[in-house]
Chains A and B, each alone.
Chain A
Amino acid sequence: MELEKFSYDNGIVRKFAFATVLWGVVGMLVGLLIATQLFAPALNFNIPFLTFGRIRPLHTNAVIFAFVGNAIFMGIYYSLQRLCKARMFSDLFSNIHFWGWQLIIVSAAITLPLGITTSKEYAELEWPIDIVIALVWIAFGINMFGTILKRREKHMYVAIWFYIATWVTVTVLHVVNSIEIPVSFLKSYPIYAGVQDALVQWWYGHNAVAFFLTTPFLGLMYYYLPKAANRPVYSYKLSIVHFWTLIFIYIWAGPHHLLYSALPDWVQSLGTVFSIMLIAPSWGGMINGLLTLRGAWDRVRENPVLKFMVVAVTAYGMATFEGPMLSLKNVNAIAHFTDWIISHVHIGALGWNGFLTFGILYWLIPKLWKTGLYSKKLANFHFWIGTLGIVFYASSMYWSGITQSLMWKQFTPLGVLQYPNFLETVLQIIPMYIIRMIGGSLYFVGTIVMVYNLIKTARQGSFQKDEAAEAPALIKIDDPFKKGIRHRWLEGKPIYFLFLALVAILIGGIIEFVPTFLIKSNIPTIASVKPYTPLELQGRDIYIREACNSCHSQLVRPFRSETERYGEYSKAGEYVYDHPFLWGSKRTGPDLHRVGGKYPNFWHYLHMENPGSMSPGSIMPSYPWLLTNDLDVSNTSKKINVMRSIGVPYPDGYEEFAIQDLHAQAEEITLDLQKSGAPAEANKEIIALIAYLQRLGRDIKAKNYSTNK
């Protein structure tokens, strides 16, 4: 048989490896800053760009899309070439992918601190960046499928299926969740509103975890764990079953992020049921990973790469057991909106994604530079300090989450809330926030040690950009294996495979969406719920800019502890004009859905200037710039037009008068503030924000509110 000569592109793998490490350090550093701000809010230095709300999405985006994203591409570009016995399809596409992705990260790092955000978690980037993401993702797809099509190995190893499922699903998720109408170059409104927007967002959010943080990493696990242990995966059959069940079931489970919300009950239940079913395929993956090491555990003791991988796979198992438990309604009732969830996601991020990435880096860098690891001792140190960091992080957040929840729900024997002041429940967990920061710091120190170790490793070796290789050409021969039902037929045909994977993930999404969207006209509208006034709309966009929804929910759940604390529970019909929805996912501060009318305007004015003045000990950052920034009203009529085009019933021609209404309402609030003694001016941002906050949740308090079908 003729051997064909070709070369593996190691240059692109090196680029992605470098980006992984760099953005990992940046993402963790930003994480440390916001963790510290939670007990020392002064650390925002009253600079808008450093305020918690704006840089919290920077942390999540940097870790998910920059650190983990680059790690995925590093891992795929190395393993795909070897599994296909072929160089990447196109060096040009590889480079477009690499530089395009870094461009996206840099634009995120610039726009998010500037407050340019869609407010949708893990999809905060505005529409021009969304388009670049789509283009770069397509370049990656062409490159990957091109490589698969020109491969010299007939069969596609299971890792490649995970890569294909990742690509196709992320494509669908990104497109569906990013449908938005631009108002200006850096501002847009999603076409979905309220309940539907929430459903789409959490279908996206949940499956971003599934198909960006899970399936590509399982693919990497299936390649790098056998490589590092030098033994084949425990059960290939198990990998087939768990692959198909995983991608099929995962897509359904999104609504478990919206339990007890205003989402239709049947969708919530569907989310719960599929979440529980998800344990089986998730644990299939974990068991397959751990059992690959059966009889070779002695090697784990000596090999830091395997140590990292074992803890990663174990963390995956823990997180995927905890996830379904959290989707049980009774557990969710306690855990949702608390720090418990923060702990849950960090088991995944620090343990599963972080440690697997570290394991791969420790294996790959010596390989690429044709040398041994510079220091095994330092790698072991990294392992232990990293593990300790995770333990500190997770335990403090569990403690804090459960404490919060119990205090929120505690009644006295007389039947009133024992801690009616939300702040009490915050002050109680400050020590836990400090411990969390210590845990994060330990983890960060480990990462820095790794950086040093890897640089030293690279220095002592020699890097070869193009690694020469030879392999026999793929020739059409009869399959030597006996006939049967031919899954392997599928494996020989990547395009069919792509199609089937697409069908598998679409079924769940469609069944969830179609009814919720079809019945749009049937959503019980509440006659007294009216569109926002122009000033409120501008105020809402400031709320979005400062990402108040990072810490404040707008969703009162139907529990007595919540209706006592906040007021009437939230109804779906109240959100019909909310583009985007702002339910939030975390209550670092209290819920705001019924805050309208609760405090006088003057209270909000002083509170925004310095929250500590109204709530001593508050950890909310100060927003003094809202009092001095002029409100930009130039786009008011454009906003009204866009809102009308996506279904908000502003009367025709209203955009002409909107600005007058805006000024009139602003004057009214300013007068009230001035009467109270505030040096307020009508053209400042604070006026719009106060208008919005005072509007929140008030519509159904209007007299004679009735539901129309």
Chain B
Amino acid sequence: MFKDYLQSIEGVEFYAIISMLIFISFFIVIILWLIKVDKHYIKKMKELPLEPDSYQAVLKPKEFSGKKNESKI
């Protein structure tokens, strides 16, 4: 009897197809981004939690790891 539900909705199969398309395209965009992303950026993000809680204690803060640090305190 539940098949009656399905048949009573017009174009019900598109719900599933559209949602799959949205999902797959979103996923592809993310993968593309990950391929193109700057390695230094990834490195900086990875090390974010390991940065000191306060810059007080350190002489030279790691501004952006992997990039030349041009800024000065």
Q: Which positions in A face B, CB cutoff 8 Å? A: 1, 3, 8, 79, 82-83, 153, 155, 157-159, 222-223, 226-227, 230-233, 236-237, 240-241, 244-245, 248-249, 264-266, 270, 467-472, 480-482, 484-488, 504, 507-508, 511, 514-515, 518-519, 522-524, 571-572, 707, 709
Contacts and interface: CB of A to CB of B under 8 A. Distances in A.
A598 B29 CA distance: 59
A83 B49 CA distance: 6
Contacts of A266: 2, 6, 12, 16
A480 B64 contact: yes
Contact of A248 (B23, B31, B48): B23
Interface in B12-69: 12, 15-16, 19, 22-23, 26-27, 29-34, 36-38, 40-42, 44-50, 53-56, 61, 64, 67
Contacts of A572: 1-2
A511 B38 contact: no
A511 B5 contact: no
A504 B26 CA distance: 10
A486 B38 CA distance: 10
B22 A507 contact: yes
Contacts of B72: 1
A265 B2 contact: yes
Among B26, B32, B42, B54, the one with the most A-chain Cβ atoms within 10 Å of its Cβ is B54
24 contacts: A82-B49, A155-B44, A155-B48, A157-B49, A226-B49, A226-B50, A264-B5, A265-B3, A266-B12, A468-B54, A468-B56, A469-B53, A469-B56, A470-B55, A470-B56, A472-B61, A481-B38, A484-B38, A488-B37, A507-B22, A511-B15, A522-B5, A522-B8, A572-B2
A83 B71 contact: no
Nearest to B33: A485
CB-based closest 9 A-B pairs: A469-B54, A232-B46, A484-B36, A485-B33, A481-B38, A481-B41, A470-B56, A157-B48, A264-B2
Contacts of A231: 50
B49 A487 contact: no
A8 B53 CA distance: 9
Contacts of A486: 33
B27 to A, nearest CB: 7
A3 B50 contact: no
Interface of B: 1-6, 8-9, 12, 15-16, 19, 22-23, 26-27, 29-34, 36-38, 40-42, 44-50, 53-56, 61, 64, 67, 71-73
Contacts of B34: 237, 240-241
A515 B15 contact: yes
Given A83-B49, A245-B27, A511-B16, A482 B38 contact: yes
Contacts of B33: 484-487
B contacts with A: majority SS: helix
B36 to A, nearest CB: 4
B29 A485 contact: yes
Contacts of B22: 507
Contacts of B5: 264, 515, 519, 522-523
B38 A507 contact: no
A707 B49 contact: no
A3 B6 contact: no
B26 to A, nearest CB: 7
B8 A471 contact: no
Contact of A232 (B6, B38, B47): B47
A470 B54 contact: yes
Contacts of A236: 42, 45-46
Nearest to A249: B23
B37 to A, nearest CB: 6
Nearest to B7: A522
Contacts of B12: 266, 515
B14 to A, nearest CB: 10
A3 B23 CA distance: 43
Nearest to B12: A515
A270 B16 contact: yes
A83 B36 CA distance: 25
B48 A153 contact: yes
A707 B1 contact: yes
